[in-house]
Amino acid sequence: MVGKGGEAAASAQHKEEHEEDGDMVGVVKLISAEGFEFVIDKKAAMVSNTLRNMLTSPGGFAETREGEVRFPEISTAILEKICQYFYWSLHYASGKETAEFPIEPEITLELMMAANYLDT
């Protein structure tokens, strides 16, 4: 690619970058109902089957090609809790050591609904 100019080369490179988006590297941005942004590692997002499908399906969703997923139905507090859960899950899913994942009673219902949607 080095030293080759022209539109064809540029668009080929662009395509490669898009294909790399399917990998486990890099970050994704999750956006809450109030417009708050959570930037998390792609491998953390993969804890959610819904996000995994979005991030890995061929062709992909427009949002995930951009590296952004909007959740107009999920409030900031719940989305943050979900991101915390992704990281907790990455660390403790191996089962070698355990720690409780704390959930405040007042958010339980909303969190369950979001978890159900995200298949997490």
Partner 1 sequence: MYIRVKRNKTTYFIQCDPTETILNIKQKLQSITDHPPNNQRLILLATNNILDDSKTLADQKVENDAVVALALRKDNEFEEVSIADPSDYMASS
Q: Kindly determine how many residues on this chain lie close enough to bind partner 1 according to the rule CB under 8 A.
A: 24
Regarding 35 and contact with partner 1 (CB under 8 A), the answer is yes
44 versus 69: smaller Cβ distance to partner 1: 44
SS (H, E, C) 13-73: HHHHHHHHCCCCCCEEEEECCCCCEEEEEHHHHCCCHHHHHHHHCCCCCHHHHHCEEECCC
Per CB under 8 A, which of residues 14..33 are in contact with partner 1?
27, 32-33
Strand, coil or helix: 98 = coil
> Contact with partner 1 (CB under 8 A): which of 21, 63, 68, 80?
80
* Nearer residue to partner 1 within complex by CB, 58 or 72: 72
